[in-house]
Amino acid sequence: MCDKIEMLAEIAAKEHTKNKNIKFTTKETADYTLIEFIVNQPLKPDELAELELPKINYQKGVVLSGRSPIWLYVYLAHFYHPTPWIATYDPRLGGAVVVQSHCSRRIGEVIPVEGCRIEPRRWRDNPHNSSEG
């Protein structure tokens, strides 16, 4: 399972809209579940406990994608920890960086991901994301 990187057509896409300030969308591939999220209004840390997170297949890896506070990413990584691996999407790389693994995926490995909503062009155009001083 972890040794193959085969991008298949999207098997399923589901929207999770019960949360007030954040919307989750999931897309399953053969190897992982892509969890994308859009924060509609600033989140407050005390909202974490009330979030309804997407149910996924825990036999696959997870790719997280969205703009949010770091503490939301940490919370999601902790929540999905039982999966074989977790990666976070980086639009500048056009892929997801493995940040946790219980299988043959290497920490720091970049997994190609297509179809994420965060496009590299939009990322670079935001002056707050510049790596230059």
Confidence band for 2, pLDDT divided at 50, 70 and 90: very low
Question: Rounded to whole angstroms, what are the CA distances from 93 to 22, 122, 132?
Answer: 25, 13, 17
Structure tokens at 105: 């995926």
Confidence band for 101, pLDDT divided at 50, 70 and 90: very high
Confidence band for 115, pLDDT divided at 50, 70 and 90: confident
The gap from C-alpha 63 to its chain's centroid, in whole angstroms, comes to: 4
The rounded distance, in Å, linking the Cα atoms of 16 and 21 is 12
| Model confidence, pTM | 0.76
3-class SS string, the chain: CCCCCCCCCCCEEEEECCCCCEEEEEEECCCEEEEEEEECCCCCHHHHHHCCCCCCCCCCEEEEECCCCHHHHHHHHHHCCCCCEEEEEECCCCEEEEEEECCCCCCCCEEECCCCCCCHHHHHHCHHHCCCC
pLDDT at 87: 98
Q: Looking at residues 88-111, what average pLDDT do you find? A: 96
Domain coordinates in residue numbering, the chain: 12-129
